Chains A and B, each alone.
Chain A
């Protein structure tokens, strides 16, 4: 017997559709898709970390410091050329860290920079960013006003607009690339331990670590209930029943998280919890860490120098 539809591949037939939304993904499918991408994200990171490339071999403390400084530096650059160099450097780093380039580019560009690009496009026009026109698009008889916006007689692409949009998109893309590099090559527990070194209070790192663990547990349960609901629903579902069910699920997760919190507390107390946290891996600096730190700090200093001098 084929149990193909049990897989979390949601091209399968029994899916509740809401009235009036033919072809649209149902709310259950949307939630399941979000849950799947959460788990996939964890699996991908784990797989990439185990490949052992350049960034994977660098001490998490060093990586957090250097890549963190780089994100701040990216927010300070004023020249498109510097942003382009940094962006290409991240692609090269991805290559040497054995992250598939197609996967890396899709992961970075899909959604945030692409979305930012779309929303930034109108800023090319002198309607939003006034400046020297480089290409005239439309000419009207008079100036008009649309609410608070003043529409000039000739709508054109401005040099300032084009520069602004390209700076904006490349800044977003470079920042997202650096964060993706950091998260794809560093274990969550190592990242949190590295943050401790930089004086982030243990209270916060402990809660973040624990929270991430229990997100997994709770999401697994929600995935099960959603799959069960999906596989038991035939035809179209009424909005009201979908809403009532979803609300009951939210309440279920709320109850579950509160009671789990209590139980975890009792378990911690019974095991002699003293607020002192220990992780199993001990970090030691290797020669590659020193070389990486020196190289990346010099690069950041030079690029910032180019920006400010």
Chain B
């Protein structure tokens, strides 16, 4: 996600410097207040940590390995302002010393990775782990979601910065002067690779490190110290709550009976006939391709309101069972021995 020189026009990279300069100033003021003279070595070492975390390759399920940017992790541990400063410093060192990311694009890169990612990640984590106390699984879940969402947000900003280039900087005959791809190409490509791959790697690394810290050094995450048995209890109670939640959702499925209308996009052929006035040929041909075992969530041969409720419950149990079984079989085959 490090944008090199030459990708962005001056109309794009200059405003990002304009955004980042006050943010850096504010960051240094806030940290100076909190840490005083201590901030210099602590920030230097945090920047070093931020630089190094990007170099750690971690095995991912599937036999390959990848690395994370670590912005959300640093924000969770050190707070968003320290993360903004530390990750910015790491990005500046990368750009000035290794040519990884452009000098003109330092503002934009710091905005995407150090600001958007750290702040969004930190606040998503805080929101999801609010009042979680010693509920460690919720914190791990919050860290994973925060990392996944915020890296995608950062990628989205990067894609928009790329994608606006053909509109704002082109020659009279339409030749793009900088990044050649418009928004309708740049955004889907960046979104796809981050939603499908990099988001999961970021979530995996962030979640695992938060889990590790929660167990080995809970004070770092402001979690009251837990004994090993208390930690196990916390994990198993979270698992129990997950099953109870699933059970409640299954019991609530007959609510579908009181909802009127059809879910958007799930229309049957007759409804489409009513809406459009004709039946699309392709849909007509395909509609008989598959007959489900429990059509309309009803038990075959049974009628009446009670039968409908039983049918819904039965469908929910069977559906959940099939999904769990499939996941179990896939996990046995794909992640065997891992």
Interface residues of A (CB under 8 A from B): 18-21, 24, 26-28, 30-31, 34-35, 38, 41, 68, 71-72, 74-76, 78, 112, 116, 120, 123, 128-131, 147-149, 159-161, 163-165, 167-168, 171-176, 179-180, 183, 188, 191, 201, 203-204, 206-208, 210-212, 214-215, 218-219, 222, 237-240, 242-244, 246-251, 253-255, 257-258, 260-262, 264-265, 268-269, 273, 275
Contact = CB atoms under 8 A, between A and B. Distances in A.
Contacts of B166: 129
Main secondary structure, interface of A, reads helix
B26 to A, nearest CB: 13
22 contacts: A21-B64, A27-B57, A31-B57, A38-B55, A78-B171, A129-B180, A161-B180, A164-B176, A167-B175, A168-B179, A171-B5, A175-B102, A176-B4, A179-B5, A179-B95, A211-B48, A215-B51, A243-B208, A247-B212, A251-B217, A258-B42, A268-B40
B58 interface: yes
Contact of B338 (A34, A191, A239): A239
B44 A250 contact: no
Given A161-B180, A246-B57, A261-B41, 5 more contacts: A71-B5, A148-B185, A168-B6, A208-B47, A211-B90
B156 to A, nearest CB: 15
B97 A212 contact: yes
Contacts of A120: 180
B55 A211 contact: no
B interface, size bucket: 35 or more
A19 B338 contact: yes
Interface in B204-229: 204-205, 208-209, 211-213, 216-217
Interface in B107-148: none
Contacts of B173: 131, 159-160
B338 A269 contact: no
A258 B82 CA distance: 13
Contacts of B63: 18-21, 24, 239
B188 A71 contact: no
Contact of A248 (B46, B77, B98, B212): B212
